[in-house]
Amino acid sequence: MKRHTHVSIMGTIGSGKTTVARLLASELKFQLLEEHFGENAFLPRLTWQLLEAGRVLSDARDPLWKKGYRGIVQDVPIQQDVFSYAKAQHVLGNMDDAEWRLYQKIYRSFEPQLPVPDLVIYLETSVSELTRRIGSRGRGYEQKIPANYLELLDMLNHKWLSENKTIPVLTIETDGLNIVRSKKAQEELLQKVRKTLT
């Protein structure tokens, strides 16, 4: 594994992004960057989230190495914020065409300055499994998420993955992988990530 590695965890709501990010941060001695962005339907909020994500990511890299971390693990890549969460709001009509163009313009304006992940880990999860997990973890604000919204996010994630030609992606099937409770599943995931990084 090279020094100063930057890994981002990508997946639809309920795929286990935060769990995986925390696991990797602990086991690989990476700095954890947790971002809870992209689920608000309003342009000002989405725009603030975009700018804040860029600021956090840009500011984080230099000091991290001085603290002894081997790298960064980010629980949502900014690309997913832009091309999945925000784009879903445009598709659903919560952002009109002018707002979507403005949002993209803001993103493009600072995209060249953003660090690019060395690896995106995509947690591939079926919509039926996402629905089951969301129901079982009992977060009130998630219980009203309709299946068609999860399907839209899943489709947009796959669209970005198919168009991405620059960032290496490790896809991990998670339907049968209980990363939350199973040490064996955690070791299996860590083994795949370590192998890819080395």
The CATH number assigned to the domain holding 15 equals 3.40.50.300
In this predicted model, which residue has the larger pLDDT, 154 or 114? 154
In this predicted model, which residue has the larger pLDDT, 59 or 167? 167
Residue 20 and residue 18: Cα distance in Å, rounded? Answer: 5
Q: Which residues neighbour 101 within 8 Å (Cβ) at sequence distance 6 or greater? A: none
In this predicted model, which residue has the larger pLDDT, 97 or 54? 97
In this predicted model, which residue has the larger pLDDT, 44 or 128? 128
Question: Could you read off the pLDDT of 22-55 as tens digits, one per residue?
Answer: 999 999 999 898 765 444 444 455 666 676 666 6
Q: Please tell me whether residue 29 adopts helix, strand or coil conformation.
A: coil
End-to-end Cα separation, the chain, in angstroms: 4
Is 190 within a domain?
no
Residues forming beta bridges with residue 123, ordered by sequence position? 172
Is 120 within a domain?
yes
Side chain identity at residue 129, one-letter code: E
Question: Which of 36-40, 113-117, 157-161 has the largest mean confidence?
Answer: 157-161
Please report the pLDDT score of residue 181 as a whole number.
Answer: 85
Does the pLDDT of residue 136 top 70, yes or no? yes
Q: Phi/psi class of residue 6: alpha, beta or left (left: φ > 0; alpha: ψ in -120 to 50)?
A: beta
Q: Which residues neighbour 7 within 8 Å (Cβ) at sequence distance 6 or greater? A: 24, 30, 71, 72, 73, 74, 117, 118, 119, 120, 121, 193, 197
Report the domain count for the chain. Answer: 1
Is 46 within a domain?
yes
Residue 198: is it exposed, middle or buried by C-beta count within 10 angstroms (0-12/13-18/19+)? Answer: exposed
Is 193 within a domain?
no
What mean pLDDT is predicted for residues 114-124? Answer: 93
Please report the pLDDT score of residue 70 as a whole number.
Answer: 83
Residue 121 and residue 195: Cα distance in Å, rounded? Answer: 13
pTM of structure: 0.86
Does the pLDDT of residue 141 top 80, yes or no? no
Please report the pLDDT score of residue 164 as a whole number.
Answer: 96
Confidence of residue 2 (pLDDT cuts 50, 70, 90): low
**Longest CA span, the chain:** 49
Residues forming beta bridges with residue 72, ordered by sequence position? 6, 31
- CA geometry: angle at 113 spanning 36 and 33, to 5°? 25
Among 9-13, 42-46, 180-184, the range scoring the smallest mean pLDDT is 42-46
Kind and range of the H or E element at 169? strand 169-173
Confidence of residue 145 (pLDDT cuts 50, 70, 90): confident
Please report the pLDDT score of residue 26 as a whole number.
Answer: 94
Domain hosting 169: range is 5-183
Is 197 within a domain?
no
Is 189 within a domain?
no
- Cα 65 to Cα 11, 21, 48, 61, 123: the distances in Å are 27, 18, 27, 7, 27
Is 87 within a domain?
yes
Per the structure block, which two tokens stand in for 166? 């620059």
What mean pLDDT is predicted for residues 5-19? Answer: 93
Average pLDDT of the chain to the nearest whole number: 84
Does the pLDDT of residue 168 top 70, yes or no? yes
Beta carbons of 20 and 74 less than 8 angstroms apart: no
Confidence of residue 115 (pLDDT cuts 50, 70, 90): confident
Is 154 within a domain?
yes
